[in-house]
Structure 1
Amino acid sequence: MKVGFIGLGNVGGKLAGSLLRNGYDLTVRDLDHELAQSFLDKGAHWADSPKELAEKVDLIITCLPSPAACAKVMEAADGLVHGLTTGKIWLEMSTTDDAEVRRLGALVEATGALAMDCPVSGGCHRAATGNISIFAGGSRAAFERVLPVLSTLGRRVLHTGDIGSASVLKVMTNYLATTHLCALAEALVVCKKAGLDLGTTYEAIRISSGNSFVHETESQLILNGSRDVNFTMDLVIKDVGLFDSLANQLGVPLEISPLILDIFKDGQQRFGAREWSSNIVKRLEQACDLQVLAPGFPAELVDYEPEEQGAEVVPPGRSA
């Protein structure tokens, strides 16, 4: 199967790297040609437009920073939709709005191609090793066709239902992760102010009911001081905003997500839109005139688990 990949940023570049590393015939495109050069040097092909890329390959993956960026790639005069024909497949791996991915999916399916939303979760360090988790929304027939590719890109692959369902679950999980990041910032600053050793504090959280994936990853970067989580404040606001908007549309009177948005909007105003999201702790560090730092923690996250072929995750109550 020939695969095309559009969007070689923090996550997309690592996903595309997994495809190339595992022997796929890969064609790439990004607005920044320099991002593509390392892929071209390793044998990938280049496309001058999304339309040309779609014409050259069987499976097209987009991984872009916003719904607006994806719409432009799909619908421009030289857009991806215009290169699709019957039998081709489009996978949207960006974190996006469920209504928008369904709208674009309808345009794709009008050409005879298949459409799925397949966002990832688990951090850039796991995207780099092919060990990330993938939510996959779309028909079961489409899912089974792309499962070999998805199980190369990720270790755990969950078929979530119709197109759009994966995007809902993705923004939900990003909301939960951001909520715990804000809570961890408060917890670490309080323990520092109380005079506790922060290495001990980290372990106390890790072995307790207060633990989470976010703690085991982002707390290490906070304590190191690098805060380099490969995810920025503007993207947090986008993702939590998508979750909050969905709740408003559904008439769910949320209380926490509006507060999380306010915290990050304040952080963005203070530190800049492209500041690492983990540096939200700086708001409290500045307010308390202290720094949440401890020796022995890494400056960046590395996935030390060996790369494994992925597999479908089957929810309770569903037949395998």
Structure 2
Amino acid sequence: MKVGFIGLGNVGGKLSGSLIRNKVDVTVFDLNPDLVAASVAKGARSGSSAAALMRDCDVVITCLPSPAISAAVVAEMLPEVRTGKIWLEMSTTDEAEIRRLGAEVIARGGAAVDCPVSGGCHRADTGNISIFAGCDRATFERVLPLLTIMGRRILHTGEIGSASILKVISNYLATANLISCTEALTVAAGAGMDLGTAFEAIRISSGNSFVHETESQVILNGSRDISFTMDLVAKDIGLFQAVADRAGVPLELNPLLIGIFQDGIARYGAREQSDNIIKRLEEATGLDIRAPGFPAEMVDDEPEEPGAEVIVRRAAAN
């Protein structure tokens, strides 16, 4: 397959890097020429436009910062969609919008997959991230070889749009975990606990989580560099709220999270690292939530391995 990749930011640059590293024929496009040049230096080709990538490639992957940008890129590519072409959307986006755009691609004879990732930029960098894929089964089988290069655990979630719903659910849970970790660490400091000891107590207990094992470390280091910004958190929990509203589910916690991050953006800026949301508590208490011995950024120390499909548990047939 010839693969086009549009969007070379924090996540897209790493996902495309896994394809390039594993000798896939990749053509890249991004509005930032420096990001394109970096990918070309690794072995990619440089594309001239989104439309050209759809014309010349079998699969075009998009990994973009907002649903509006994705919609604009798809509109540019649509005239070049033909039978056999595949659009694979790896952005975190709105499930209603992905269904709308996917239907336009399918109406022209192509196939569409919503394919968000989860697990952090450090795992995207090594090809060990998890990937959700929403599409018909036949399309999933066609793209699975590419997905197992970019990720380790691949889950077919059902029809298009289903992966995006599950991704914003996952990101909502990660945000709730982040806020609870910032509060727990601040209370530990306020109670006079050694923060290194507090980190380990949480890590080996029922209070542990993926977020604690990763983001609490860069919080305690003081860098707060998780390669994810406050505006992206606000977008994701806003998308989760939209799913809940459409489903008629009244939420109590998520509106609080939305308010916390709106305040964080007002105080520190939309592009502030998301983990610096703890500064609200540091400023309120006068405490410094840092401890020695923790890394400035997360690095995946698991070796890169070929991915595989995650099989959903089902009840045995009678």
TM-score range, shorter chain: over 0.9
Tell me what 2:19 maps to: 19
CA distance in 1, matches of 2:94, 2:4: 22
Amino acid at match of 1:29: F
Quote the Cα distance in structure 2 between the aligned partners of 1:286 and 1:308: 43
Structure 1 position 64 matched with structure 2 position 88: no
Residue 152 of structure 1 corresponds to 149
What SS does structure 1 have at the residue aligned with 2:234?
Answer: helix
Give distance in 2, aligned partners of 1:159 and 1:304.
Answer: 26
1:278 partnered with 2:275: yes
1:183 deviation in Å? Answer: 0.5
SS in 2 for 1:147: helix
What RMSD in Å do the two structures reach over aligned CA positions?
Answer: 0.9
Partner residue in 1 for 2:47 = 47
Residue in 2 aligned with 1:83?
Answer: 80
For each residue in 1:114-141, what CA deviation from the matched residue of structure 2 results, as whole angstroms up to 9, or x when unmatched? 0000000000000000000000000000
Q: CA deviation at 1:318?
A: 7.4
Spell out, residue by residue over 1:113-171, the C-alpha distance to the aligned partner (whole angstroms, 9 max, x if none): 10000000000000000000000000000000100000000000000000000000000
Could you list the per-position Cα deviations for residues 57-90 of structure 1 after superposition, in whole angstroms to 9, with x for gaps in the alignment? 1011000000000011111xxx111221100111
Q: Which runs of structure 2 are paired with 1:88-237 in the superposition (5 Å)?
A: 88-237=85-234
2-structure distance, mates of 1:155, 1:189:
34
Q: Residue 65 of structure 1: SS of its match in structure 2?
A: coil
Kindly provide the amino acid, as one letter, of the partner of residue 37 in structure 2. Q
| Structure 1 spans left out of the alignment, 5+ residues | none
Given residue 305 of structure 2, which amino acid in structure 1 is its aligned partner?
E
- Cα separation, 2, equivalents of 1:115 and 1:301: 32
| Structure 1 residues 187-208: Cα deviation after superposition (integer angstroms, max 9, x where no partner) | 0000000000000000000000
> What amino acid is the match of 1:7?
G
- Decide whether aligned partners of structure 1 residues 318 and 87 sit closer, same or farther in structure 2, where only a CA change above 3 A counts: farther
Q: Secondary structure at the match of 1:218?
A: helix
Structure-2-length-normalised TM-score: 0.98
Separation in structure 2 between the aligned mates of residue 318 and residue 106 of structure 1, nearest angstrom: 32
* Aligned equivalents of 2:224, 2:118: Cα separation in 1: 19
Q: Secondary structure at the match of 2:82?
A: coil
Structure 2: distance between partners of 1:179 and 1:317: 29
Task: Give the direction of change, closer, same or farther, for the CA distance of 1:132–1:292 in structure 2 (3 Å limit).
Answer: same
Q: Which amino acid in 2 is paired with 1:133?
A: S
1:297 maps to 2:294 = yes
* 1:267 partner amino acid: G
Task: Indicate the larger mover: 19-28 or 41-50.
Answer: 41-50
Residues 218-266 of structure 1: CA deviation (Å, up to 9, x unaligned):
0000000000000000000000000011111211110000000000000
Task: Give the structure 1 partner of residue 5 of structure 2.
Answer: 5
May I ask how many residue pairs the two structures share in their alignment?
316
In the aligned structure 2, how far is the partner of 1:155 from the partner of 1:86?
29
Aligned to 2:307: 310
The farther-off stretch of 40-49 and 7-16 is 40-49
Deviation at 1:31, TM superposition (A): 0.8
Which residue identity does 2:65 align to in structure 1?
P
Query: Retained in 1: the 8 A contact 2:7–2:62?
Result: yes
1:150 & 1:80 partners in 2: Cα distance? 22
Task: Give me the whole-angstrom Cα distance separating, in 2, the residues matched to 1:230 and 1:104.
Answer: 28
Q: Classify 1:318/1:83 alpha carbon distance in 2 versus 1 (closer, same or farther; 3 Å).
A: farther
